[in-house]
Structure 1
Amino acid sequence: MLTLATLGFLLNFWAWSLIGPLGPTYREELALTPVELSVAVAVPVIVGSLGRIPIGALTDRYGARVMFPVVSLVTILPVLFVGLVASNFAMLVVGGFFLGVGGTAFAVGVPFVNAWFAPARRGTALGIFGMGTAGTAVAAFTTVAIAEQFGRPAPFILVAVLLALYAVVAWTVLRDAAGRAAPTGSLAARTWATVKIPATGQLALIYALGFGGFVAFSVYLPTYLTTDFGLTRGDASLRTAGFVVLAVVARPVGGWLSDRWHPVPVLTLCFTVAGAAAVLAALRLQLLPAGTVAFLVLAATLGAASGACFALVAKVAPADKVGSVTGIVGAAGGLGGFFPPLVMGAVYSATGHYTIGFILLAVSAFAVAAFTWGPVRRASRRGA
């Protein structure tokens, strides 16, 4: 069940991330400004983020056996629209809006995996499930190469076919854990009850920086590398894929460390080191070795923090609200990934470089580290 859930997450995330690697191509072919390009790559992120709130609540009600096939099938339509139809900025934004549905698969998988594992193993299990974010790496590794070899529609057609196959397999094989109790009450009432849980807001802030930072770099790094360092599209895509792979591998490590010790010290350390790496990136040193070291450290720490955050969800969220909490926390993570590309595009347009953007990231990381070690640590001790 964990393997099937991770595969579904990976495929939907692959679909969700298809626009980012082609950002430089869209910029040239559609004559997009830096801000327009930032909007195009950010729109799927915000929709996939906000969509996790209702999808998480629906997963609590109907289970992952229903929701994984539904999300996968619905995502096929915008994948084909972007790949085969979109030919201007407006159409790209519309397609990207609905492509965001693929990003909601995360809110389906977390409550599903959480229900299958004992509390002592949930951090590791959720970290393994979180490796489905490798879909972003697959997109970064393959999209440009496939498009150059077989034409721009080719990667979109491939992903659409794989999503259709997965929907059939998930409907046939996937099973929710025994004893799953569907919650009662309306979607709005259950969402409001979840919002009022103190831990929900705390976890949302943590994930907004941890996962949001990962998403922001995964979608905007190709543009940053081609613009600021003059790399080719293929080279930028491969380097971005390396960033994503390291973050993906670090995610179960963060979950495992949280199972062994506790999520709070793991999160505090991750954000402190990430802040230091952001300061290094802001110095605009050579890409080799300083710039590369900065981004690799950011990848490892943001990935581990994402895994540790959901280890903390498993500890503090009520069992019948894990999907709803996941939806809200996941939405915050996606929203955290929405704004940095816009900020980076605006900063570059205004100043001609990205220094201010990295300084803002460093300040945010240090602030969240302090918040985690302070209020979050006290609340987790009270079992909030």
Structure 2
Amino acid sequence: MNSTTKKATSINLLDFKSPQMRAFHLSWFAFFLCFFGWFGIAPLMAVVREELELTKSQIGNIIIASVSITVLARLGIGWLVDRIGPRITYTYLLILGSFPVMFIGMSDSYETFLLFRLIIGMIGSSFVITQYHTSVMFAPNIVGTANATSAGWGNLGGGVTQMVMPLIFALFISFGFLEAEAWRYAMVVPGIAMIITGFLYYHYTTDFPEGNIDELSKKDLEYKKKKKSDGKGALKAAVTDKRVWCLFLVYGASFGIELTINNIAAIYYHDFFKLDLKTAGLIAGLFGGMNLFARSLGGFFGDRSGIKWGLKGRVGFLGVVVLIEGFALILFSQMTLLPIAIGTMIVFSLFVQMAEGATYSVVPFVNKKAIGIISGIVGAGGNAGAVMAGFLFKMEGVTYGESLCALGIAVVAISSTTLLIRFSEQDEKSAKEELEESLAEKKLQPELVNS
């Protein structure tokens, strides 16, 4: 732990007792389930398309709806979590968010399906809570890795759902349900899991290493005064900082692309390569499956770059990764042979998710008084990027391959915005001092244990 703030200076995955690691494990798992429920219907869209007789344009609108409301939800959640803490915020989001996930099965037309898909998108704001919780639980030497790993394992839900939902769908078919019934009942499964996790989050996490916001406020009036003082002007400082909006664009070019691929990958492989639902889902799942380690790598190398070159090192690494991501996406868009398409998709996926992790190795250092707000704004950038991408995929005269190529070119261009993300000498000095303190504390830990 950091002696001053009690933030963890390392990640011990087998630790389920400390408040830092309980928050780590439950936050990534909660995000995993939210992602699973958010994109649970995506691998079943071929079935839904037939039943509801959806056009390409309507599917495009559904894709846009699934990510659009999340832009506003992430901004709101960022503001809320700064005030009531991650524990209560996550509990309500998980439980309330489970209902539209389960009730999408009540859809009987394009309009009702579109509405439920829109509402479900609110649970995508869970990402902001996860990033906030790990940001306040881990010290500077490891915060990038903690953020990237918790978010990456959460994003893994987008890959796992591509593989698992067709199997759950097939299970209901084996029980004798028709296809039109099976996809509806399948969506109840992630909803129930979200409710259970909401109760676990409430009972087994704390807002900060020292305790919950309400408890700290009662014990320490100075803490309450400091939170109130820090909150004043935090929103204005965040929205007027150009670095925040550069990170907004960069995250749109990374997480926004991931959301888009999660929405279209299964149906793309089903239509373009003429694969059945299960096979298309399995291949599409490989993209999200890279989150098992790829996003963590982005955070890890972001931290390493920060240790060696300071904050400018973190930003420089981010710019390089986003640039490579753009070229990899252009390459993937040109593939017509299935084995090569899968290979290039995996390479592309690696850099997409590394870029996401690298982004949030920078975010905690922009303004420490507004971590929640900035996390919300940058996180919203991912969904804004997905919304913009969605308009490409609803155009009748443009193929999916052409849309992917256009997105790749946009990502390459956006990578240049990292050149505008700069920190003052005072910021660099402050970050260096905090880093040295956390590294010294980490070295001291074995001695304290042995004594």
Shift of 1:109: 1.4
Match of 1:173 in 2: 204
Cα distance in 2 between the residues matched to 1:31 and 1:362: 31
Cα distance in 1 between the residues matched to 2:287 and 2:425: 34
Secondary structure of 2:274's aligned partner: coil
- Change in Cα spacing, 1:197 to 1:152, as seen in structure 2 (3 Å) is same
Where in structure 1 do 4 or more consecutive aligned residues deviate above 3 Å? 179-193, 378-384
Cα distance in 2 between the residues matched to 1:382 and 1:218: 41
Shift of 1:157: 1.5
Task: Say which of 348, 363, 384 aligns to 1:335.
Answer: 384
Match of 2:363 in 1: 313
Which range is displaced more, 269-278 or 302-311? 269-278
Shift of 1:354: 2.9
Task: Say which of 330, 336, 344 aligns to 1:285.
Answer: 336
Are 1:30 and 2:52 an aligned pair?
A: yes
Secondary structure of 1:51's aligned partner: helix
Shift of 1:57: 0.8
Match of 1:232 in 2: 276
Shift of 1:324: 0.5
Within a 5 Å distance, the mapping from 1:233-272 to structure 2 comes to 233-261=277-305, 262-272=313-323
Match of 1:141 in 2: 163
Within a 5 Å distance, the mapping from 1:204-219 to structure 2 comes to 204-219=248-263
Q: Looking at CA atoms only, which structure, 1 or 2, has the larger radius of gyration?
A: 2
Match of 1:113 in 2: 134
Secondary structure of 2:187's aligned partner: helix
| Contact in 1 for aligned 2:40/2:161 (Cα 8 Å) | yes
Task: Say which of 194, 201, 206 aligns to 2:238.
Answer: 194
- 2:403 partner letter: G
Match of 1:356 in 2: 402
Give CA-to-partner distance per residue, 1:354-376, whole Å, 9 cap, x none: 3431231221122122222x222
Match of 1:154 in 2: 185
Cα distance in 2 between the residues matched to 1:18 and 1:190: 36
| Contact in 2 for aligned 1:280/1:294 (Cα 8 Å) | yes
Match of 2:27 in 1: 5
Shift of 1:259: 0.4
Cα distance in 1 between the residues matched to 2:231 and 2:277: 44
Cα distance in 2 between the residues matched to 1:345 and 1:227: 15
| Contact in 1 for aligned 2:230/2:369 (Cα 8 Å) | no
Shift of 1:327: 0.7
Shift of 1:275: 2.2
Which range is displaced more, 273-282 or 255-264? 273-282
| Contact in 2 for aligned 1:214/1:247 (Cα 8 Å) | no
Unpaired segments of 5 or more residues in structure 1? none
- Change in Cα spacing, 1:277 to 1:382, as seen in structure 2 (3 Å) is farther
Are 1:52 and 2:67 an aligned pair?
A: no
Task: Say which of 299, 302, 327 aligns to 1:276.
Answer: 327
Cα distance in 2 between the residues matched to 1:382 and 1:365: 31
Match of 2:449 in 1: none
| Contact in 1 for aligned 2:44/2:183 (Cα 8 Å) | no
Cα distance in 2 between the residues matched to 1:12 and 1:198: 30
Shift of 1:383: 4.0
Which range is displaced more, 24-33 or 273-282? 273-282
Are 1:299 and 2:321 an aligned pair?
A: no
Shift of 1:341: 3.2
Secondary structure of 1:118's aligned partner: coil
Cα distance in 1 between the residues matched to 2:137 and 2:76: 22
Secondary structure of 1:311's aligned partner: coil
Are 1:324 and 2:373 an aligned pair?
A: yes
Secondary structure of 2:183's aligned partner: coil
Shift of 1:237: 0.8
Cα distance in 1 between the residues matched to 2:119 and 2:54: 20
What is the aligned length? 376
Cα distance in 2 between the residues matched to 1:240 and 1:68: 28
After TM superposition, the score normalised by the length of structure 2 is 0.79
| Contact in 2 for aligned 1:21/1:222 (Cα 8 Å) | yes
- 1:134 partner letter: L
- 2:386 partner letter: G
- 2:57 partner letter: V
Match of 1:345 in 2: 394
Cα distance in 1 between the residues matched to 2:390 and 2:47: 17
| Contact in 1 for aligned 2:231/2:369 (Cα 8 Å) | no
Shift of 1:19: 2.2
Secondary structure of 2:397's aligned partner: helix
Unpaired segments of 5 or more residues in structure 2? 1-22, 173-181, 214-222, 306-312, 429-451
- Change in Cα spacing, 1:93 to 1:154, as seen in structure 2 (3 Å) is same
Cα distance in 1 between the residues matched to 2:184 and 2:232: 39
Are 1:366 and 2:412 an aligned pair?
A: yes
Cα distance in 2 between the residues matched to 1:106 and 1:362: 24
- Aligned CA-pair RMSD: 2.2
Cα distance in 2 between the residues matched to 1:355 and 1:166: 38
Shift of 1:110: 1.1
Shift of 1:245: 0.7
Aligned sequence identity (%) = 24
Cα distance in 2 between the residues matched to 1:36 and 1:188: 44
- Change in Cα spacing, 1:52 to 1:43, as seen in structure 2 (3 Å) is same
Cα distance in 2 between the residues matched to 1:245 and 1:355: 22
